[in-house]
Structure 1
Amino acid sequence: MCAALTQSQILEALQGLDGWGIEDAKLLKVYKLRDFKAALAFINQVGAEAERLDHHPEIHNSWNRVSLRLCTHDAGGQITEKDLTLARAIQSISHP
């Protein structure tokens, strides 16, 4: 089980994660893609990374927008290093 990060650890890590923030005690990023087809392709890429890391985000899609929320359920829904690792992996995915 991963330990929850402190607020200062999270804020420091967010400096290296473009566009990510905190909402309702979860990491959050909203991507705006070209269209629905591009959004679905991006979601599939996120899913592949989530499976590779065995850590799965909350995903919401509305046409060309994809919202991702990350927290660690095993840590009581708090933010852990697993969330930061997944956020970094997602950030490395190129999208149109």
Structure 2
Amino acid sequence: MKKLSEKEIEQQLAGLDGWEFNDDGIETSFEFEHFKDAFSVMTRIAFEAELQQHHPDWTNVYNKLFIRLSTHDAGGVTQNDFDLAKIIEGIVESE
């Protein structure tokens, strides 16, 4: 998978509300009403990430979820990251 240029990353970020490019990765955070809501979303994301064989770096504290995507083998952001980010957005929006 080819590492995307900063220009390509910025173009794709325009279509993802709340995501930012930082230190060779794209990042976002979500806040839910309760811990169980955050955990439920994390579980759904985990199943999708496993299907994609592309796994997020993330942290969860109570009702907050921070997600960072980067393709380690490519040394930065690839199309895989944006594909997973779009899947994540769909999961969060459906909650």
TM-score tier by shorter-chain length is: over 0.9
Corresponding pairs, count: 94
Gaps in structure 2 of 5+ consecutive residues = none
Map 1:24-35; keep pairs closer than 5 Å: 24-35=23-34
CA RMSD between the two structures: 1.0
Q: Structure 1 length as normaliser, TM-score?
A: 0.92
Which residue is 2:88 aligned to? Answer: 90
State yes or no: 1:68 paired with 2:67.
Answer: yes
- Structure 1 unaligned residues grouped into runs of 5+: none
The alpha carbon displacement at 1:74 in A equals: 0.9
Q: Does 1:9 align with 2:8?
A: yes
Moved over 2 A (4+): none
Shift of residue 81 of structure 1? 0.5
Whole-Å separation in 2 of the counterparts to 1:15 and 1:95? 21
Q: Percent identity?
A: 35
Task: Tell me the SS of whatever aligns to 2:73.
Answer: helix
Contact (CA 8 Å) 1:33, 1:95: kept in 2 or not? no
